[in-house]
Chain A
Amino acid sequence: MPTTKLTPLQAGLERLSASSPEWLAAARRRAYQVFDGLEWPTARNEAWRYTRLDPALFELPLEEGGGAELLDADRLPELVRRRLEESEVGAALVFVNGRLAHLSIPGELAARGVVFTSLNEALESHGERVEGSLYQAVGATGLKGPEDRLAALNAALWSYGAFLYVPAGLELEQPLGVFHYADAGGVQSHARTLVVLDDGASATLIEEFLSPPLERRAQVAVSELLLRPGSRLRHAAVQTWGSGVYHFHRQRALIEKDALLLDLAANLGATLGRTEVASELVGPGADSEMLGVYFAGAGQHLDHYTTQHHTSAQARSDVYYKGAADGDGKVVYQGLIKLEPAAQKTDAYQTNRNLLLSREARAESVPQLEIAANDVRCSHGSSTAPVDEGQIFYMQTRGIERRQAEQLLVAAFLEEVLGRVPLEKLRAHIARIIEERLA
C-alpha cells in the first residue's frame, strides 16, 4: 500500500473501522468508496435545484462521537433537560455532541425483549440483530447520484445513534425518545438511527434535534425504519436546532405487508435544513402517512423531499406537508409519488401548502408523479397563498393586533397537519415554538 497522507475523512474512516466489527468495517469502506466516486450535488440535480450545498461543511473536523459519558438527568444541559421533563416519552436516550449522556429506560422494556440503546452498544450486545438490519433501508447499494453522496458519507462515517428493536406482537404504549443535543460547533457530526419492528409489533419513537445557536455545525442524520409485516410505527423527527446548524436528514422506511407508518417531520430550527423522507411500500396493505410542518424565519432555508415509492400492489400512502416562511426565510418542498408497474390498486396522495408572511419570504413547491400502473387513485395538490386579509381584518375589528392575528392564522394553518398527531405534549411544544418565532 502506498504511504500517502490520509485526508481527515479517510483518517476518520480508519479510526471508525478499527473500532467496528469486521462486517461493519467492510460496509463502511464500501460506502466510503461510493462517496469518493460521487460528486457533490449542485443545482443541476433536480433534487437539489433550490438548495445550495456548501462542500466546505464537509471539510470541518469530524466530531469524535461514540462512547458514553453517563450523567444523571439533572446534570444534563438545561435545554435538553427541560425537553426531557416536558416530553411524553417513557424511555429516553440523550446524546450530547455525539456521545451517549443519559439513558432512562424502564427495566420492564428489556424484560419484554425490547432493545432500546445506542447503536454502538447494540453492536456489542445484539450484534447479529444489528448486522441483519443495518444498511437495509439506506445502505451503500442503490446510492448512485450526487444526491446520494451525503447518505454514502454517513454510511461510512456515522459515529453514534440509536437502536430500537421491538419483538413480534409486542405493543408499546409509551413513546420512546431519542434526543440529539449539541453545544459544540465547528464540526461535522454523523448520526444514525435504526428501528426494527418485528411482525405485529407497535411503537412510537420521537427523535428530537436541539441546540443553542452554534458556530457552523454540520449534522448529518440517517434514520432507517424497518417495519415487518403487520407492525405499526409512529415516528416523529423534530428539528429545533439553533442557528448555525446545517441539518441533513435522510429517512427511509421499508414498509412490509399490512404494516403502518405514521410519520411526522417538523422542521423549525437550523440555518439550513434538508429533510428527505422516503417510504417504500413493499407489501400489499402497507400504509404510510407522512406529515410535515415547517416554519422558516429570517436567515433560514428549509428544504423537504418526500418519496412515496410503491413497488407492491394494494398499498396506500399520503403526504401532507404544510409550512410558512417569514422574514427572508425560504421554504422548499419537493415530492415524488412513484408507482412501479406492479403497483396496481394503489391509493397515493400528496399535498403541499405554503404560507408566505413577508415581502422577502420565498416558497418553491414541486409535487411530482411518476405512474406506471393504471388501476390506481393518485392525486396531488399544491398551493401557496398569502394570509387571508379578510380574516385578519375580522380579528382586527375584534381588537386583536395584526401580528397576533397572523399568529393565530399560522397556528390554525399548521393545526390541520398537527391535529392528526395524537401526541399532545409534542404538539404543544411545536405550537409554542412557532408562537415564539412569530412574536
Chain B
Amino acid sequence: MSETELKHIAEDYQWGFADEVEPEVKLKGLTPEVVRAISEIKGEPGWLLEFRLQALETYFQKPWPAWGPDLSDLRRQMDDFYYYVKPPARENARSWDEVPEEIRRTYEKLGIPEAEQKVLAGVGAQYDSEMVYHSIKEELEKQGVIFKSIEDGVREHEDLFREYFSRVVPPTDNKFAALNSALFSGGSFVYVPPGVEVEVPLQAYFRVNTEGFGQFERTLIIVDEGAKVHYIEGCTAPIYTTEALHTGVIEIIVKKGAESRYTTIQNWPVNMYNLVTQRAWVEEGGYHMWLDGNLGSKVTMKYPSSVLRGPGARSEILSIAFAGDGQHLDTGAKLIFAAPDTSGSIVSKSISKGEGRSSYRGLVKVLPRADRARVNVECDALLVNENSKTDTYPYMEIANETASVGHEATVSRLADDQIFYLTTRGIPEDEAAALIVRGFIEPVAKELPLEFAVELNRLIELEMEGSVG
C-alpha cells in the first residue's frame, strides 16, 4: 500500500489512532515454544496445553485454502507476526478506574463506558491479547449469568468449559480454526442458566494496538434451556503500513427452547486480514440469529454457521458487507439442517464501491434425517462504481425429498435515475446515494439495536461521501 493511499484511508477511518502503550510481553513467530509460553503465562491446566500443541500441528498440516480471496501476502508474513502481546494492565478489571489511563482513554473515545451505562448488560474489553475489562450488571450475576474472559472461564468453571469447548468448532475444522486453537487468548465465556432472559445485550469490544500483531480471541457461549441472550462484538485498530491478522473462533450452544443473537459490527482498518470461524449448535425448538456486519478489513473470510440439531430448531443469518477500495470481503453463511422440521433463512446485502469486491459464499445442507426442512436464501448486491465487483457462490446440497430450499440473488447498480430523482427534490448527491444504500440494507439493519443502527447509518454516510458524481 502506498503512503498516499494510506493517508487517504487514514483520513476516512476515524479509529486509526494508536496508543503509546508498552506491552509487558511480546511473543513473535509461530512455534511450539510460543504456544507453551502463552499457556504458561495463563497458568493453564495441562490438557489445554496439549490441546494447543496438537492444534498447532493441525495448522501446519492443513493446506492453505485453494479458493476465495488471495492470501499469498498473508502467507509470506506468517513468521513475522507477534502472536501474543500482553498489555501492561491487570487482567479483567471490574471497574474502568482499574484500567490504565492510556488504555481507558481509547475505550472512552470509542464510547464503550458510556454505552455500558446506558444500553448494555455487560461489557468485555480486549486490548491486543488480553481482556483488560470485564463486567456484568449485578442482578444478572445474581441470577447465575456468567460473563467472563475465556481465561477466567477456564480457571473458575473448568468442568463446564471443558464440556463444551472446541466441540462446535474443533481445531480440525479449518486451517484458521486450528491456528486460533493453538494461540487463543482473550474473548468471552458466557453461560446463561435455564430460563434466565438477559434482555439487554452483552458487548465485547476488540481493540488491536500493536503493529504487526495477530489477535486470536475465543468465545464460548452456552445458552441453557429456555434462556435468552444477545451478544454484540465490535472491533477497531490503528492504521499501520504493515498488515495485521485477526482470527477469532466463536462457539455457541443454544439449548432446548433457548434463544440467542450474536451481532458483529466489524470495522477493522484496511490492513487487517479478518479470518473468523463462527458456529452455533441449535437444539430442539431453539433459535439463533447471526447478524454479521462487515465494513472494514483488507480481506475478510467469514461464514457464520448454524447447525440445527434438534427438531423444530430455527436460525436466521443476516449479513451486510460494504467493500471499498483495497477490500475483498468474502462473507456469507452456512445452514446445516440435521433434524426434522427445522427452518432457516439467510439474507445477505452487499455493497461494492470504488474497486471494492464483495463475495457471498454460502452453504445450505439438508441431511437425510431433516424431514420438512425449509430454507430461503436471498442475496442482493449493489454496485456503486464502474470498477466495483461482486460474486455469489451459493452451495445447496439437498438429501431429503421433503425439504424445500430456495435461493434468489440479484445484482444491480446504484441507479442514476433514483439519485437524479432525489437531487431534483433538493437532496445533495452524496446524501441521495447514502439514502439509497441505507434503504438497500434496511431489511438487515432494522434488526440491530437502535444505537448500533444509528452508528451503521453514520458509517455508511461517511463511506458514501464523494462516491458518486
Stretch at the interface among B153-161, B318-326, B403-411: B403-411
Point out the residues of chain B lying under 8 angstroms from A372, CB to CB.
387, 389
A369 B392 Cβ-Cβ under 8 A: yes
| B41 beta carbon closer than 8 Å to chain A | no
Contact B399–A378 (Cβ < 8 Å): no
Which 3 A-B residue pairs are closest in the complex by CB-CB distance?
A: A356-B401, A374-B383, A369-B392
Say which residue of B384, B394, B399 sits within 8 Å of A374 (CB atoms): B384
Q: Can you report 29 A-B residue pairs in the complex whose CB atoms are below 8 A from each other?
A: A46-B67, A356-B400, A358-B401, A359-B401, A362-B397, A362-B398, A364-B397, A365-B396, A365-B405, A368-B391, A368-B394, A370-B391, A371-B381, A371-B383, A372-B389, A374-B383, A374-B384, A374-B386, A374-B388, A374-B414, A376-B383, A377-B412, A380-B392, A381-B409, A382-B396, A383-B404, A385-B403, A385-B405, A386-B404
Q: Say yes or no: A382-B407 contact (C-beta < 8 A), given A366-B393, A371-B383.
A: yes
- Whether the pair A379, B398 counts as a contact (CB closer than 8 A) is no
Question: Is A354 part of the binding interface, using a Cβ–Cβ cutoff of 8 Å?
Answer: yes
Instruction: Indicate if B342 sits at the interface (CB-CB under 8 A).
Output: no
Q: Mark B58-98, 1 if CB is under 8 A from A, else 0.
A: 00000000110000000000000000000000000000000
Q: Is the beta-carbon distance between B407 and A386 smaller than 8 angstroms? A: no
Known contacts A364-B396, A384-B396, A369 near B388 by CB under 8 Å: no
From B398, B409, B412, contact of A384 by CB (8 A)? B398
**Considering only CB atoms, which chain B residue lies closest to A359 in the complex?**
B401
Give the dominant DSSP class at A's interface.
Answer: strand
A378 and B410 contact, CB distance less than 8 A: yes
- Determine the distance from Cα of A382 to Cα of B393 in the docked complex, in whole angstroms: 12
Residue of B nearest to A46 (CB): B67
How far is B402's CA from A422's CA once the two chains are assembled, in angstroms?
A: 34
Inter-chain contact A356/B398, CB cutoff 8 Å: yes
Q: Which residue in A44, A357, A368 is a CB contact (below 8 Å) of B393?
A: A368
Is B390 part of the contact surface with A, judged by Cβ < 8 Å? yes
Residues on B with C-beta less than 8 A from A293 are: none
Say yes or no for A363: interface residue by CB 8 A criterion: yes
Residue contact A381 to B394, C-beta cutoff 8 Å: no
Residues of A within 8 A of B458 (CB): none
Q: Does A418 contact B (CB under 8 A)?
A: no
A residues near B (Cβ < 8 Å) are: 44, 46, 50, 341, 344, 354, 356-359, 361-386
- The answer on a CB contact under 8 Å between A379 and B411 is yes
Complex: A379 Cα to B390 Cα, angstroms: 12
- Closest B residue to A363 by beta carbon equals B398
Q: Which of B67, B389, B397, B408 contacts A371 (CB 8 A)?
A: B389
| B390 lies within 8 A of A369 (CB) | yes
Report whether B411 and A371 are in contact in the complex, using a CB–CB cutoff of 8 Å: yes
> In the complex, what residues of A have CB within 8 A of residue B399's CB?
362
Whether A366 pairs with B396 at a CB distance below 8 angstroms is yes
Chain B interface residue count, Cβ-Cβ cutoff 8 angstroms: 36
Query: A375 is contacted by which of B395, B397, B413 (Cβ under 8 Å)?
Result: B413
Contact partners of B381 in chain A: CB under 8 A? 369, 371
B416's nearest neighbour on chain A, judged by CB, is: A375
Could you say which residues of chain B place their CB within 8 Å of the CB of A356? Answer: 398, 400-401, 403
B residues touching A (Cβ–Cβ < 8 Å)? Answer: 66-67, 368, 381, 383-414
Task: Specify which chain B residues have a CB less than 8 angstroms from the CB of A381 in the assembled complex.
Answer: 406-409
CB <8 Å contact, A384 and B413: no
- Docked pose: A365 CA to B399 CA in angstroms: 12
CB distance from A46 to the nearest CB of B (A): 6
Query: B386's closest neighbor in chain A, by CB?
Result: A374
With the chains together, A372 CA to B393 CA distance in Å? Answer: 15
A96–B400 alpha-carbon span in the complex (Å): 40
- Closest beta carbon of chain B to A35's beta carbon, Å: 22
Do the beta carbons of B413 and A378 come within 8 Å of each other? no
Q: How far is B397's CA from A50's CA once the two chains are assembled, in angstroms?
A: 9
Beyond the given pairs A367-B392, A374-B387, 13 more chain A to chain B contacts, judged by CB atoms under 8 angstroms and listed by A's residue number, are A356-B398, A356-B400, A366-B393, A367-B407, A368-B394, A371-B381, A371-B383, A372-B387, A377-B411, A379-B411, A383-B404, A383-B407, A385-B403
- Known A-B contacts A362-B398, A384-B405; A44 and B66 likewise in contact (beta carbons under 8 Å): yes
Is B392's CB under 8 angstroms from A368's CB?
A: yes
- B300 CB to closest chain A CB (Å) equals 18
Q: Give, as a whole number of angstroms, the nearest-CB distance from B416 to chain A.
A: 9
Q: Are B413 and A380 in contact (CB under 8 A)?
A: no
Return chain B residues, CB-CB under 8 Å to A374: 383-388, 413-414
Complex: A371 Cα to B381 Cα, angstroms: 10
B401/A361 in contact, CB under 8 A: yes
* A5–B396 CA distance with the chains assembled, in angstroms: 47
Smallest distance from the beta carbon of B5 to chain A beta carbons, Å? 21
Which chain A residue shows the least CB distance to B372? Answer: A386
Q: Which residue of B lies closest to A338 (CB)?
A: B391
**Chain A neighbourhood of B403, CB < 8 A:** 356, 384-386
B411 close to A376 (CB less than 8 A): yes
Q: How far is the CB of A227 from chain B (nearest CB, A)?
A: 26
The answer for the CA separation of A358 and B396 in the assembled complex, in Å, is 18
How many Å lie between the Cα of A385 and that of B389 in the bound state? 32
Query: Is there an interface contact between A369 and B409, defined as CB atoms closer than 8 Å?
Result: yes
Question: What's the Cα separation between A46 and B391 when bound, in Å?
Answer: 15
Contact of B406 among A44, A376, A382, A386 (CB under 8 A): A382
Residues of A within 8 A of B397 (CB): 50, 362, 364
A386–B399 Cα distance when bound, in Å, is: 11
Q: Chain A's nearest CB lies how many Å from the CB of B375?
A: 10
Alpha-carbon separation in the docked complex, A264 to B387 (Å): 34
B359 to chain A, nearest CB (A): 9
Q: Which residue of B lies closest to A381 (CB)?
A: B408
Report the bound CA distance from A344 to B397 in whole Å.
33
Asked whether B389 lies within 8 Å of A366 as measured between CB atoms, the reply is: no
Interface centre among B383, B406, B409, by most A CB within 10 Å? B409
CB distance from B133 to the nearest CB of A (A): 44
Q: Which residues of A contact B408 (CB under 8 A)?
A: 379-381
Expressed in whole angstroms, the minimum distance between the Cβ of A407 and any Cβ of chain B is: 16
Among B401, B410, B412, residue most surrounded by chain A Cβ atoms (within 10 Å): B401
